[in-house]
């Protein structure tokens, strides 16, 4: 594994009247809705990409949390697979 810097975001998901709301605390405007959790997450990621592109054009940073990866580190990611 190559050493490098990994940036990450937190996505908070809540139930609303229309389904689910996914939002990224600390990033203004980074939220989206969906009929399912997965749709809300994917929609929120699309919004994040638009925000990142906009800020890049303006030479602004996203101020994301980051980790310096080393060859002895692992990253664990939890994704929802079922909601009942």
Burial of residue 24 (CB within 10 Å: 0-12, 13-18, 19+) is buried
Per-residue pLDDT of 41-64, as tens digits, reads 999 999 999 999 999 999 998 888
Residue 61's contacts (CB-CB under 8 Å, 6 or more residues apart) are 55
Give the residue numbers spanning the domain of 45.
4-69
Tally of domains in the chain: 1
Q: What is the pLDDT of residue 84?
A: 66
| Distances from the Cα of 8 to the Cα of 18, 45, 46, 79, 82, angstroms | 28, 12, 15, 14, 23
CB 24 within 8 A of CB 35: no
In a domain, 64, yes or no: yes
In a domain, 15, yes or no: yes
Listed ranges 30-34, 58-62, 69-73; the one with the highest mean pLDDT: 30-34
Question: In sequence order, what are the beta bridge partners of 33?
Answer: 21
CATH number of the domain enclosing 31: 3.30.160.250
In a domain, 36, yes or no: yes
């Amino acid at each position: 594994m190559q050493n490098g810097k990994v940036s990450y975001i937190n996505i908070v998901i809540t139930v609303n009247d229309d389904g689910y709301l996914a939002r990224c605390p600390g990033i203004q405007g980074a939220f989206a809705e969906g009929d399912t959790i997965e749709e809300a997450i994917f929609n929120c990621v699309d919004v994040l990409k638009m925000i990142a592109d906009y800020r890049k054009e303006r030479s602004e940073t996203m101020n994301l949390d980051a980790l310096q990866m080393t060859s002895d580190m692992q990253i664990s990611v939890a994704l929802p697979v079922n909601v009942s």
